[in-house]
Amino acid sequence: MPTPAEIQRIAAAMNAIRPAWRTSSLVSFLTTHHANRAYQDLAVAGIVVALDTETQTPNLLNRHGAWWIAAQAATGRVDPIRFERCPKPGHTSYPAHNCGACRVDDLEPSVQQTERVPGVSAERVRQILDAAGCGS
């Protein structure tokens, strides 16, 4: 993860290439959206995005693209995107802000899958969903 000084340096480098992108705005953007990235990856990706003359804002960094592939190629490693995990036991493989298991828990008990039953046909699943009002 980049330190505040490293984020400042990345923002200054991007601003040197794209003077219309204010350094203070870039620092805020990078801190808000990319503070969990590896410093080297963020530096390379930020420069690649800044060099793209068709790009109007640094928001491309929020998407997967050639800039992140360039960062991986430059460092020779893959730095996966990290996100906060759901803290609820059994849900830790889901993102905290979009936990599918929590959404299932919020369904009515008749709709929840309480146990796995091998051999249940697709037709029986449709019947159960239709009875619960979830069918198409």
Predicted TM-score (pTM) of this structure:
0.55
Domain count for the chain: 2
Look up the domain containing 127 and give its range.
Answer: 84-136
Q: Which of 52, 75, 98 is the last residue of a domain?
A: 75
DSSP per-residue codes, the chain:
---HHHHHHHHHHHHHH-TTS-HHHHHHHHHHHHTTS-HHHHHHHHHHHHH-TT--SGGGGGS-SHHHHHHHHHHTS------PBP-STT-TTSBGGG-HHHHHHTS-TTTS--S--TT--HHHHHHHHHHTT---
99 and 53, same structural domain? no
In the structure, what pLDDT confidence band is assigned to residue 113 with cuts at 50, 70 and 90? low
Same domain, 70 and 91: no
**End of a domain among 23, 56, 75?**
75
> Does pLDDT of 17 surpass 90?
yes
pLDDT in tens, 56-76: 999 989 888 888 888 877 777
Tell me, yes or no, whether 65 and 89 share the same domain: no
% the chain with pLDDT above 70: 82
Q: Quick one: 52 and 95 in the same domain? A: no
